């Protein structure tokens, strides 16, 4: 067997706040032989690898960390894409689209030829739109291209509901669905504590006002953290590293992730079974009429962004050639 096949590797594109935090989380909870960090900022990349390496010399069996090239990243078992601009205080995730689509396109040119077995995990924003274009730019089967989507929002939802209900977050089963962005919504009709439906568990507390407060807390969480410290990193570090584990361990864990929804014509978050081949299958969910409408509105908004991005791309020779190579 070749040496390459004996190793499991996760490549992280982007060695900024998020990329370094995903790497650190993977080093603290080893699930693969090596983590490869890639970034065009050479000094930053070398410093991050040295600093992260210092966290691995404590005597435990460790995952190795090294810097690498885009070409090497394209052969990894999982490629986590954090490369891209981040929001400034007050900016929306969608405002990053044009800059981050160019970066995404250049990444696929540099990684080519990408291994047909690689699973791509998109983190950079706007994550649903970038997941949609990564499918096209990579040429990989759509089950192998996924975005962290509303996994982070759902973790935030579990956190705030746990405080209100005075139970552990791990006892809350509740999802934020749709866009990892302003049109996201909570699937209240399916939420439970243990196996008790939320409406029974919280009874009188669960008013419209209570739900609106929780939704606004969850939707606004990133903006509030960014306004105070300039980025969010630990929550997404944990979410992305956990998804890598579900993939490499073929754990068949169900999580809300962004992936292509053929009937909606875009990528957005719905629950899916995650395993070694990426999205193994969608997990059907019975939404009520209001939630169904919110899902359709959310998809309509995302499709409009995709349409205008596609028009912009046609006017941009470099990007339109990159997309044509695979469509």
Ligand X SMILES: NC(=O)C1=CN([C@@H]2O[C@H](COP(=O)(O)OP(=O)(O)OC[C@H]3O[C@@H](n4cnc5c(N)ncnc54)[C@H](O)[C@@H]3O)[C@@H](O)[C@H]2O)C=CC1
Angle, CA 176 vertex, CA 281 and CA 98 arms, to 5°: 85
32/177 with CB nearer ligand PYR: 177
178 binds ligand X (CB under 6 A): no
- Shortest distance, position 19 Cβ to ligand X, whole Å: 6
Q: Is 136 in the site for ligand PYR (CB under 6 A)?
A: no
Q: Report d(CA 49, CA 223) in Å as an integer.
A: 29
Q: How far is the CB of 297 from ligand PYR (least distance, A)?
A: 20
| Residue 116 CB partners (closer than 8 Å, separation 6+) | 140
Distance CA(184)–CA(153), nearest Å, equals 9
125 binds ligand PYR (CB under 6 A): yes
Report, in Å, the least distance between residue 187 CB and ligand X.
18
C-alpha pair distances (Å), 226 with each of 86, 91, 101, 231, 309:
10, 10, 22, 5, 26
- Which is catalytic among the residues 180, 217, 321, 326? 180
By the 10 Å C-beta count (0-12 exposed, 13-18 middle, 19+ buried), 231 is classed as middle
Q: Which residues contact 70 (CB under 8 A, 6 or more apart)?
A: 13, 38, 107, 110, 111
93 touching ligand PYR, by CB under 6 A? yes
Q: Where does this chain touch ligand X (CB under 6 A) — which range of 39-47, 185-193, 197-205, 276-284?
A: 39-47
Please, which residues have CB within 8 angstroms of residue 108's CB and are 6 or more apart in sequence?
114, 134, 137, 138, 322
Locate 184 and state its tokens: 């996201």
200-229 in b/e burial notation, b at 16+ Cβ within 10 A?
ebbeeebeeeeeeebbebbbebbbeebeee
Rounded CA gap, 11 and 64, in Å? 12
Count of residues touching ligand X (by CB under 6 A): 33
Footprint on residues 148-167 left by ligand PYR (CB under 6 A)? 152
Contact 250, 276 (CB under 8 A): yes
| CA 283 to mean position of chain CA atoms | 18
Whichever of 68 and 181 has its CB closer to ligand PYR, that residue is 181
Cβ closest to ligand PYR, residue 60 vs residue 88: 88
The entry of ligand X, ligand PYR, none that residue 39 binds, CB within 5 to 8 Å by partner kind:
ligand X
- Cβ closer to ligand PYR: 131 or 232? 232
Report the residue from 222, 244, 279, 313 that binds ligand PYR according to the rule CB under 6 A.
222
Site track for ligand PYR across 21-40, x = CB under 6 A: --------------------
180 given a catalytic annotation: yes
Q: To the nearest whole angstrom, how small is the minimum distance from the Cβ of residue 290 to ligand X? A: 25
Interaction between residue 184 and ligand PYR (CB under 6 A) = no
Of 100, 90, 95, nearest to 230 by C-alpha is 90
Instruction: Give min distance, CB of 20 to ligand X, in A.
Output: 8
Phi, psi angles (nearest 5°) of residue 323: -70, -40
Assess 125 for contact with ligand X (CB under 6 A): yes
Task: Please list the active-site residues.
Answer: 180
Binding site for ligand PYR (CB under 6 A): 93, 125, 152, 222, 232, 236
Binding site for ligand X (CB under 6 A): 13-19, 38-41, 44, 82-87, 96, 100, 103, 106-107, 123-125, 127, 148, 152, 180, 231-232, 236
């Amino acid at each position: 067997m070749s040496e390459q096949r004996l190793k499991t590797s996760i490549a992280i594109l982007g060695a900024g706040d998020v990329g370094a935090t995903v790497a650190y989380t993977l080093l603290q909870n080893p699930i693969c032989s090596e983590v490869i960090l890639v970034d065009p900022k050479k000094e930053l990349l070398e410093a991050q690898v040295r600093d992260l390496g210092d966290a691995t010399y404590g005597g435990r069996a460790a995952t190795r960390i090294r810097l690498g090239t885009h070409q090497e990243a394209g052969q990894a078992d999982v490629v986590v894409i954090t490369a891209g601009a981040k929001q400034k205080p007050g900016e929306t995730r969608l405002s990053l689209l044009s800059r981050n689509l160019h970066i995404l396109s250049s990444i696929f040119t540099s990684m080519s030829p990408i291994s047909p077995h690689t699973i791509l995990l998109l983190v950079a924003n706007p994550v649903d739109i970038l997941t949609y274009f990564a499918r096209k730019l990579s040429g990989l089967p759509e089950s192998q291209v996924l975005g962290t989507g509303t996994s982070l929002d759902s973790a935030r939802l579990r956190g705030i509901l746990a405080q209100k209900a005075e139970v552990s977050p791990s006892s809350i089963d509740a999802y934020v669905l749709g866009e990892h962005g302003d049109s996201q919504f909570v699937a209240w009709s399916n939420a439970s504590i243990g196996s008790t439906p939320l409406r029974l568990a919280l009874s009188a507390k669960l008013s419209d006002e209570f739900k609106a407060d929780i939704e606004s807390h969850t939707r606004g969480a990133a903006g509030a953290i960014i306004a105070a410290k300039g980025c969010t990193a630990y929550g997404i570090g944990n979410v992305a590293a956990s998804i890598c584990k579900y993939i490499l361990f073929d754990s068949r864990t169900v999580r809300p992730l962004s992936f292509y929804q053929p009937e909606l014509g875009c990528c957005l978050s719905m629950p899916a079974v995650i395993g070694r081949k990426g999205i193994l299958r969608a997990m059907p969910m019975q939404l009520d009429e209001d939630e169904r409408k919110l899902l359709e509105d959310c998809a309509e908004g995302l499709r409009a962004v995709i349409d205008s991005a596609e028009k912009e791309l046609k006017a941009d020779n470099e990007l339109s050639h990159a997309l044509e190579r695979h469509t």
